[in-house]
Structure 1
């Protein structure tokens, strides 16, 4: 009977919608030369999470096959993933080239600006840098409450006293002064105190619908272009040009994530060490900075290396003192 058929079809659609809602979409980049970092991050999430995680792995054209084969020839072959090619042409004319850290000017560093163009079917997504390890269930991060009118949630650099003390001891900037050039009148005219606590956009949860409504991507591009014209935040100060636009666009317009879901600055110095008990309690570790856990020297590399899966092609190797 057509009524029964319609009810079955409706129930099937409802079930499919429920399954889709239960997906936890995670966006992470896979840059050639750093794919080992991406694999370790994915492995840590897959191993520690019970939810239905869907990985969106964004790569340049020259890395698409490499990352696919690495996953398909390892225990990660069971994960749900999509590999997406990023077109660097969207950045033409928007990025200055005078960086003290050229790796931060790589196109994939700006993927976070273009989430709605890459992720089409999800209301909410998690974005992660590749130099992270997840020790908790990623569902907990995904369940972060984003306030009405906010397009994203971040952890600020002043959330945890233990983090702030460690960062202060090694002289890392945790305020807007470290990212914007307050000698420029255009920056001072913004009315943002240089002592405003900053946040690191390497880990965040985004509301894609709100992102589109507020045209966040256009706002970020506006600040990219202004920097090209007026050098509002020198790359020498900011360590790159991806963080300042986020700080400007989301100033006083973002929700917060549990600070234990973004314990960062592990890569700032080989001597920047947290207590072992604190690191065990952390849900996510981030080696932002120059000293990456797959290189040498580095801090707490053992926490990263336990999740690393060797490259079947042999192209990516870990650097250690005897290597």
Structure 2
């Protein structure tokens, strides 16, 4: 009997150890990748639907957009502009940090956006440890959500193709037309090049915006020279792109992007002091000569690089998408073409996000 009790105690200890090992393994996996929030809601709420249901429909246009706490109103304006200019079924992957999940859900549920189909995805910034250096020159460019575009496969997206959009964007065209672009065989993404629209060239030159690889990479570094990329090659802006998820995974794009992030962490081959900050250069390197070119009207950019330089009104009317990339955002002041953005702004039901205008008392 004593021997039997001893064996039972040994078995119990072994069982406890196995449970502890399983818990430790689960916690380690959770800490090394972006996490999804559960977002369980009652069946009567049609807005927040499961990814499984979203993937059933083949005519859905999936859009990935980030929603940071301090720029929540920007993301909601982008979403509003998309759904207001299409009759397509759009599904939004709204990516945010843990502290902003409740705010994100409230902004959607308590406004005219309550009928959209969406899933809130929680991004874990720990995935960036050892890949991004602190930099005081442009701290906004180092926000963890700036790097979500690198990690699309880790967002558990069940669609084979998605559109990624920055939050400082207004969509004036039918998003379905952008989604339906034909990607060339072997291409994992489609971008608009920085040399593609003669109508903007004079404006771009006047504000000193870079349009070639020379403006984004440090060609004094041997690691950059070894790439064999001509410094005069046209760059592209990764704030708008269409991604083929199967090709992205097949080509291990995320792993390649991380490799260059880690290389920059060690060698400083680009920095936020250069034109594209730290999120653009890895994309430029990995996708060099390996992307499909978008119709330039689907990415009219640089609206945020000067508070004084305006585009012609007829040109803005033709644009399918407007991008206020740069430091002068349309929800602040000064900025240009405020009416084009404010048309889609939805007031924050929590009162945290507000527009800054010259007649404000604050």
2:342 is the counterpart of 1:305:
yes
Q: Secondary structure at the match of 2:224?
A: helix
Q: How far apart are 1:273 and its partner, in Å?
A: 1.0
Higher CA-based Rg? 2
Contact 1:99/1:236 (8 A) holds in 2: no
In structure 2, the residue matched to 1:12 is: none
- Structure 2 counterparts to residues 146-161 of structure 1, below 5 A: 146-161=183-198
In structure 1, the residue matched to 2:92 is: 55
Deviations 1:195-223 (A, max 9, x none): 11000000000000000000000000000
In structure 2, the residue matched to 1:319 is: 356
In structure 2, the residue matched to 1:100 is: 137
- Structure 2 counterparts to residues 213-232 of structure 1, below 5 A: 213-232=250-269
Task: Show structure 1 runs of 4+ deviating over 2 A.
Answer: 16-19
Q: How far apart are 1:281 and its partner, in Å?
A: 0.4
Q: How far apart are 1:225 and its partner, in Å?
A: 0.2
Q: How far apart are 1:272 and its partner, in Å?
A: 2.2
Distance 1:35 1:17 in 2: 24
Contact 1:100/1:239 (8 A) holds in 2: no
Q: How far apart are 1:284 and its partner, in Å?
A: 0.3
Distance 2:135 2:101 in 1: 28
Q: 1:39 to 1:18 in 2, by over 3 A?
A: closer
Contact 2:194/2:236 (8 A) holds in 1: yes
Structure 2 length-normalised TM: 0.83
Distance 2:66 2:173 in 1: 20
Distance 2:174 2:199 in 1: 23
In structure 1, the residue matched to 2:69 is: 32
Q: How far apart are 1:37 and its partner, in Å?
A: 0.2
Q: How far apart are 1:119 and its partner, in Å?
A: 3.7
Distance 1:163 1:238 in 2: 17
In structure 1, the residue matched to 2:201 is: 164
Distance 2:195 2:227 in 1: 22
Structure 1 length-normalised TM: 0.93
Which residue of 154, 170, 177 corresponds with 1:140? 177
In structure 2, the residue matched to 1:241 is: 278
Instruction: Provide structure 1 residue ranges, at least 5 long, that are not aligned to the other structure.
Output: 1-15
The size of the alignment, in residue pairs, is 308
2:211 is the counterpart of 1:179:
no
Deviations 1:92-135 (A, max 9, x none): 11001125110110100000000011143110000000000000
Q: Greater shift after overlay, 180-189 or 299-308?
A: 180-189
Q: Greater shift after overlay, 201-210 or 90-99?
A: 90-99
Contact 1:99/1:239 (8 A) holds in 2: no
Q: Secondary structure at the match of 2:316?
A: helix
Contact 1:296/1:319 (8 A) holds in 2: yes
Deviations 1:4-24 (A, max 9, x none): xxxxxxxxxxxx899521110
In structure 2, the residue matched to 1:266 is: 303
Distance 2:133 2:200 in 1: 31
CA RMSD between the two structures = 1.2
Instruction: Provide structure 2 residue ranges, at least 5 long, that are not aligned to the other structure.
Output: 1-52
Q: Secondary structure at the match of 1:97?
A: coil
